[in-house]
Chain A
Amino acid sequence: MPKCRFSDVKISGIVTCIPTLEKCIDDELELFGGKVKQLERLKKTIGLHRRRVVDEQTTAADLCEQAARYLIEQSAVEPSQIDTIICVTQTPDYSQPCNAAVLHGRLGLSKYCAALDVNLGCSGYVYGLWMAHTMIASGGCERVLLLAGDTISRLVNARDRAVAPLFGDGGSATLVERSQSSAATFFSLQTDGKGFDNLIVPAGGARQPCTKDTAVAVEDETGNIRSLENLFMDGAEIFNFSITEEPKSVIELLEYAEIDADAVDHFVFHQANRYILSNIAKRLKLDIAKVPMQTVERYGNQSSASIPTAICGELATALADRSSARLLLSGFGVGLSWASALVEVSDLAVFELIDYTA
């Protein structure tokens, strides 16, 4: 996908809903075989600390629904005014129908409303924004409700050190609308499908349906335990991918937009972990104050919800203080897939982080 540019489209609000159950790596010493030093190194080097996870009854759709209800209320938009609902998730309620249709019903949206899911993870929020912009620019929609959320904590094996302490859960809602007065926005979207098996849940789809064998947890050569129905991640490959592709795509988008990195107010990267975030920032020579990275230490890696959480959790005050701000958003992960956007948001927009209430 080449890069693209839009005008007359704005983001008028983002709300992220976070589960209240908190886990902390300090309580999981036994996962590291009681090795205090290894745990401390992970905290110090990778920046692993706390994360918020759902219980067994709560899904990404529940988190997104609560975020959407709050956003609709705050934005003074009628549910009937929403022309399309997009759900970005890899943890839908059902293999079919899609979350967007289920939530369309739960939110009471109009029958004259398109609804579809996007099966992407960490790059998914930016992809969803791009689709919303495309739909509005085509003239077909005035308002798009973008819901992006995941409950990856329910896919990891608690005894897999490579993923269990990393992932948290979250659901977000973003309202994208037509607006004559808004600044241009820019997108770039990329894929490397050859790396599809570096971050994967092997069983549960049509290629390898769930059987009693796929549910059996097995220990790998590094001592981590998981089944074929759990999430697998090759951490080294994902790290290499992040430090090579991410900085390149950010530079290319800035060049395309003819905007200097200094003219960007905040660089909001997918909150993978502090080590990856600081490495990307270092390679791009960014002022670290412009790069939110507290989100992942508080809430965990929230997949498609991490960028909206970082905006609502770390930037809401800063964004309210100035009439408009230029943000570079960039997500990267499962696919492998990565996408960046350059957007401008105004102080009139809603940015809020809320706790999930069952």
Chain B
Amino acid sequence: MRLPALALAAALLGLAPTARLGAQGAVGQPGAAVTGGGGGDYRSSTTEAMGDRLFDVNSDSIDMENGSMQWKGRTFNLGNSRMMRARFERYLAAPAPAQDSRRYLDVLQRIESLLAPNAINERTWAPNQQAAFDLLFEAARYEQDAENSLTLASQIRKVWEMRVEFRNMGVNHNQLEALRKRQEGVVINRQEQQELANDQRSAQSAKKEKGGALVKSTAGSAEAAARAKDEQKTQAEIVANQARMTALALQAQVEFQSQIVQHLLARRYRHCIIACAFYRVMFRSQNQNVRVGAKEVKEFFPISDYVPTLESLDGLCREAIKDVDTGLRTTEDLMRQGELYGAFERLQETYFLGEHEPSIQSFDPAKKRQLLELWRDLRELQRVGDERDLANVDQYLNQVAARARDFPAAAVRSKVEAARAASNMQILAAQQAAVSGDSAKAEAALERAGKIWPLNPAIRDFASKAIARQDVLAQKVPEFDQLHGDGKWRDIFNRRDEFAVALIQDKDRLPKLKAVVTRVGEIEAIILQASSLAAQGNPYLAWDLLQRAQAIDPNDIVLARTRSEIAPLVAEYARLLALAERMEKDGHDAAALTAWMSAQELNPVSEICGAAVRRLAARVASSGAPAPAPGRDPGALEVPEPPPANR
């Protein structure tokens, strides 16, 4: 504990009680007589008055992050959170103390009883102190004491020694005072003698010479001055001695109060109570305010006008002990009811409030073991939660819920499910963005999904697919180029989905793909319609449609197959159409017109026939005298056979 030594000493030096303590020489030691009311005034209105203000505040809570504990408005610093966890886990795993806690408590209670206000009077003051002092060594033999009683005993012993020293200084002070008084008397005597001699000389001189001048003698002045100097020297020694006594008294107070506050902050409540009891007995009632570590103690009590006293510290310790006992009872009761989670929380709070209390240390090891297993599951659950390993949360959640029926598993599970769903939704968004070619959006969505659930297996799948997609991209592009170069529209159409994914961002190839898909899609639609018409007994109309599709892509394999299926039904019609097309292609419009008309006779509603007839008739009508057929000299033709004269 840090003590602002200079300021503290300056403040204490200005206080009258300490001076009086030394002046009265009231400091004794066991066996010595008690003078005055130094036995300790235990009557207090402070504790009662402060009780409501101090203890009626927020409920207890443990801040694992900061390693502190709030208890009734006071904050205990418990060290960092890792140490807290380690200490609590070690406590849960520790076996029961080897020695009997009840005997240890008996010893401490005997000490308290010896120093209790009702046990201290002029007769018992010294022997009770001595007996309590001796019992400290007995208490120190117990493991749970951690030899804190020895420290306290050392402090008490030190105060006693200071008192002896103080008493010796008091004796010295009295001797010096007596010496000073004697010296003062001598000085006064010498001065009176000198004045008397001067008066006598003056009288004699007046008798001898009337009206003569006053005659003074300086005989004896030197001795008087020396005597006065001695007296002054003694006075200075007295003042110095008083200062040393004051300092010694303050040192005793300061060191003891430090010890008390240290026990309180270490949550060694019983040692704090015993130290307070010793202090009350050893020091006068005027010195009961806590001056040492005032800053630390005030931080401990979040009340602005609080003046720490021994009584408030004592009351605080007793309240803490009572709360520890209540906490333990609550823990045991909850465990009996199977509410292990609540029991765990209560035990944790109770442990950090009074981990050194014998009742805490002697808590049933079997129950501690039970809570330790729950603690480990909770720790794992927290770990997977911290790591956002939502896939494994269920496992630990089920384990904890199986151990502690009061654990709010449903709430945790609900949050986990919500987090999973949110992560999956983000992955879905990432997939959609990736398909639409928006990589930035996909990346952002994937990042959000990872933040919510870093180990989401869907993220890994998405990454694998993305990698695979890159591979596919690398393969699909040259494949598309090859098929497009070869005019294999149907092959491209059949694999349009995979090409679409691969070429989604390819500004050059994507329009080509769209054109192919549109063209073959139109053929597909025509084929579908033609098949339907053929099935309905309209093969000629079906063939007309197929003719239209033929114009789009004459090499389409599906179209060819469909044509081959329908062709037997319209053999003559198909032949005529083929002939007509060939003739038209060769420039023989009239012959083509004749063929179209023949076909139209077979399929009067044919649109293509009607259109061809109109087109070719107009062309033939507009044509002048036709030129000889290319490559065929009419003159070189053989003479046609006369038609049979069958008329």
A binds B: no
What is the interface of chain B, defined by CB distance below 8 A to chain A?
none
What is the interface of chain A, defined by CB distance below 8 A to chain B?
none
